[in-house]
Structure 1
């Protein structure tokens, strides 16, 4: 039996280095459309009482990062907060996907249900976790890791605090809120804050750590999200897909303004909404293997000359389903 799958050839990753300013519009966790989507969507599993608008800063930041990497997820109507099938990336889609893919677990602070993100469920990108050892400011080690990530085009999701306690009567004093670090700005960093008080605006707030929505932020824990970095506009990369001569065959053509070495990532979303990455098992092979882990199509970068370059055909196959 053959089933339909959705294929993406991600814009390639140039290995020549990146400026320390990432374009991440971000989402507003408090956004509500006419139906209340996505801010009013319930989070977690097992009776978790949280909603995205009040407790969804982390998954909203994560959704922004996945959107930066052009990652889309499919959610069936029965699992969607809207009651309709969805495909794409926003906090509501990510939340619905996490709820059915083991993406929530129990935290000590949860009064009931499983409300905390299970990082291990997110396999679409590589996640590397670090701590800022400084009680104020940023330690030299943390700064070096953040700068290295930004220099490679990798956004950083950071847990922050801005006072002695997070809020209300809680005794929690760290990781009170989560933001996306997008670039360097002198001695501080630019961020996308996922909390925007304008519930009619779906976008986060672009600001700096020193001027967060809730105050001057200090980084506690931070997570580098590594993936196939989208091409910069000035690289002028054009991608063309066309049917091949065999069932399931896709011919791939790239046109680049600037020649250089590139890595290519092929992403496949199956009918259940699971994301796979295609890789070629042997040089010269057109048959692909699919993995749930981030992996490039080829083990080594390829050189693309300026102008149009047909990089060949690929045929996707997995247990007779593709």
Structure 2
């Protein structure tokens, strides 16, 4: 008789899946993706009225079963909670049976930031200490929480279209992490002197431009997860070493790359081998201290499956040992 399907809610995810643990999970998952030890389809996205989205992400990861994330993205809900709401369904590779259903909102928040932190560790200069956060939504806090594990941060600057939210987030970062943090009056002010920049907005058009970014900066481009909306201008994309999370996905759905390509500034060859190859050491990331590097994050189901499997197995072990 099959075991009952476990359900892991948002509170349990938040209590058990810490950022440091998730960074290690993301490294392993992205190496597996780059080396062909996983399979995933391009995400399916349905545009709903009013800018809302519905997405389905199926895949399989060696050692972690197979499954799918089914998720809605309702930007207006972000003021009251997570804009990403849904479930991850995990199946057992041996039996084919569904074994676990996990609330996807907190997993998505943690694993997205942890993947950026892993990329930052691989691509940012070793002494990078000044972090600029562009955006004040859920991902902003999580990116600080994750990146502090891979770089010793001296300063965090936060820019958002609502200055009061940027100020509130800066105060929270001071309280939660003991880091020096302040709101910035403009994108240029936030980016000035930054070693690491994270773009985490729902912007439809670029707001971070080439002139804002100094040599040697690392950028995590996270906010746009489909073709269309873009946070970074085409000239900056062309200037940078452009590293994708999943190359096939970025070539098809990475808005920043697609805009630069359509402007005639880059070709497909500009998109470097995947971040998993950088993690494994099979391809270089940063070549010189003056390089600008961009990690383009679309998000991959293998990241969710790695988290889901870890949560399920540790949940099962806890229950079995009770």
Could you tell me the TM-score, scaled by structure 1's length? 0.26
More strand by percentage: 1
Which structure features the higher share of helix residues? 2
TM-score (normalizing by structure 2): 0.26
Rg (Cα) greater in structure: 1
Q: Between the two structures, name the one with larger relative contact order (CA 8 Å, sep ≥ 6).
A: 1
